[in-house]
Structure 1
Amino acid sequence: MKKIEEIVKIKQFKFLFYFRSILFFSVFSVLFSFYSMAQGNLLITPQRIVLEGNKQRDEITLVNSGQDTAYYSISFLQYNMTDDGSFEEVTEPLTGQKFADSYVRFFPRSVELAPGESQVVRLQLRRTPNMENGEYRSHLYFRAVPKEKPLGEEETVSDNNTIGIKLTPIFGISIPVIVRVGDIASSVVLSDVFVHKGENQQMPELTLVINREGEQSVYGDLNVEYISPGGKHFVVGTVRGIAVYTPNSLRRFSMPLNVPEEVDFSRGKLLVRYGSSSETKAKIFDETELDLK
């Protein structure tokens, strides 16, 4: 791959830097739907792949929603999830951590998409006799390849007394690919549930800890209902697609709550429920109540 173009100028010892922007997104963003996600002009469906049981193959659909032809390279990366839900590239595997990239083939490894065009990326699991029971996870990364300028096209420099750095932004999006081997499971407990005023001092904020045990990661939606002293229910908060990946044992999470006019947060209680997003296998991982006083 050719190096990103850099143009250097100098002016009165002042430096202006246009920082290179690399945007990552993952199985991992809680504000996108379960079925699709997007970054830049690339739309990806679905936003996570799980190969387990007899399921050996799956497909990912890419769509260019922009007005220009786009090029993407596809590769595997390894990420760890932190306690606050952000991601860090793996430098050293954690104890018991397993990666899926050695067992999953995908094709093609690069795509060119005209405006409005779609492309299917096919994945196939290759099980080996020595695979241990457990969950294997890697992240499939779709990296935009910047369009190269034709030879002879050069940046015009009008002032030789200035210095600056111009870097072309590179966008990327990643989704988790999970392989599960054997009879594995997990359990979830919600703890440290607390309500306090948010940064704007008007909209209250809920904080809690999602505690996970077992060999399997969990992925689901967090729903919060206010229950009045008279027994009326009001939905005051929903966040979809919250994951706690192995080998993490917990995730700290916070979310703003909507307060309808009928709701009085000085009394009543909150019902907090964390459950699977699947419509075919709906499951409540855990739920808890918080008395408001």
Structure 2
Amino acid sequence: MLRTLKRYFPSPSLMLVIAFAGGLLFINTQTLAQGNLLVTPMRVVFDGKKGLQELNIANTGKDTARYLVSFIEIRMNEDGTFEKISEPDSGQHFASSFVRFFPRSVVLPPNEAQVVKLQLINTSQLDSGEYRSHIYLRAEPNEKALGEDEPASAKEGEGISVRLTPVFGISIPVIIRYGPKTGAVSLSDLNLVTDGGGTKLQMVFNRSGNTSVYGDITVDHISSRGKTTRVANVRGMAVYTPTRLRHMQVQLDAKPGINYHSGKLVVVYGTTTDDGAMTTLAQAALILK
């Protein structure tokens, strides 16, 4: 079922997966699009309220494109990077055996969107805890006949020429939470670093319990006179199970009148509930000198 773009796509952050020349690179970003592909929502969570959810994908390019849909499994490292894995780490559970999706490939004309449905299955086999896999939507490259639209340098030169074509995709976490939820997080090791790139705040997220944590980071500078100024805002920061620690570095704004050697920095990590209320997950302060 095709839908128009404007109805479905706000601006949530996504974790993008870029596959280039056979390799995978996972990065965190605030952008929604990659390779003319848009996806919303940015994460799917089954927490007992419903067993069927939808993923909306759209083609923002000028040509018709085909997208392949599959599951991949990843590990989050303590520095926030990701690795593709085939076997779960200790304490990690994959969700792919408990979720089915349809369709498995989508052909979209320019500026059109379609729904991918995800359904929870095999729930009788679930134990208490959190299960996570990632839906991977990959744009299938447009194959051309040998010699078609080759660069002039390749046609005029001698020997064999090689052309690498990047393949872009987006990875969306799919999470199942079953039974009691005991996830919690705290902040520690706040430290200010100044270099050629400006002023950065380093911190460590300490996750505990049986679920991941997900939320937004705000950093406020409070001057010695009590004036509060927002100097950083990071949306969509997660610490996935079974990772216990995540090291984070946040770039602080260089605003006029802000002295990072005086006053204090207050960091709040919070999440927005379904009714729109903000819940603080963790908070910490750093006295500046």
| Range of TM-score over shorter length | 0.7 to 0.9
Q: Is the 8 A contact 1:43 1:64 kept in 2?
A: yes
Structure 1 equivalent of residue 33 of structure 2:
38
Structure 1 equivalent of residue 44 of structure 2:
49
Structure 2 equivalent of residue 136 of structure 1:
131
Structure 1 residue 165, shift from structure 2 partner: 2.0
Alignment of 1:111-190 (within 5 A): 111-150=106-145, 153=148, 157-160=155-158, 162-190=159-187
Quick one: which of 278, 281, 291 aligns to 2:287?
291
Distance 1:264 1:154, change over 3 A: closer
Structure 1 residue 268, shift from structure 2 partner: 0.5
Q: Is the 8 A contact 1:64 1:118 kept in 2?
A: yes
**What's the Cα RMSD here?**
2.0
Q: Which letter maps to 1:199?
A: G
Q: Which letter maps to 1:52?
A: D
Q: Is the 8 A contact 2:215 2:235 kept in 1?
A: yes
| Equivalent-residue separation in structure 1 for 2:45 and 2:101 (angstroms) | 14
**2:189 aligned with 1:192:** yes
| Structure exhibiting the larger radius of gyration computed from Cα positions | 1
Q: Is the 8 A contact 1:225 1:236 kept in 2?
A: yes
Q: Give the structure with the larger strand fraction.
A: 2
Counting matched residue pairs gives 266
Q: Percent identity?
A: 47
**2:70 aligned with 1:72:** no
Q: Is the 8 A contact 1:229 1:267 kept in 2?
A: yes
Distance 1:39 1:100, change over 3 A: same
| Equivalent-residue separation in structure 1 for 2:144 and 2:80 (angstroms) | 38
Q: Give the structure with the larger helix fraction.
A: 2
Structure 1 residue 188, shift from structure 2 partner: 0.8
Structure 1 residue 22, shift from structure 2 partner: 5.7
**2:252 aligned with 1:257:** yes
| Equivalent-residue separation in structure 1 for 2:269 and 2:149 (angstroms) | 55
Q: Is the 8 A contact 2:37 2:169 kept in 1?
A: no
Q: Is the 8 A contact 1:225 1:272 kept in 2?
A: yes
Q: Is the 8 A contact 2:79 2:247 kept in 1?
A: yes
Q: Is the 8 A contact 1:23 1:170 kept in 2?
A: no
Structure 1 equivalent of residue 21 of structure 2:
20
Structure 1 residue runs without a partner (length 5+): 1-18
Distance 1:279 1:267, change over 3 A: farther
TM-score, normalised via structure 2 length = 0.86
Structure 1 residue 186, shift from structure 2 partner: 1.0
Name which structure has the greater RCO, CA cutoff 8 Å, separation 6+.
Answer: 1
| Equivalent-residue separation in structure 2 for 1:236 and 1:153 (angstroms) | 51
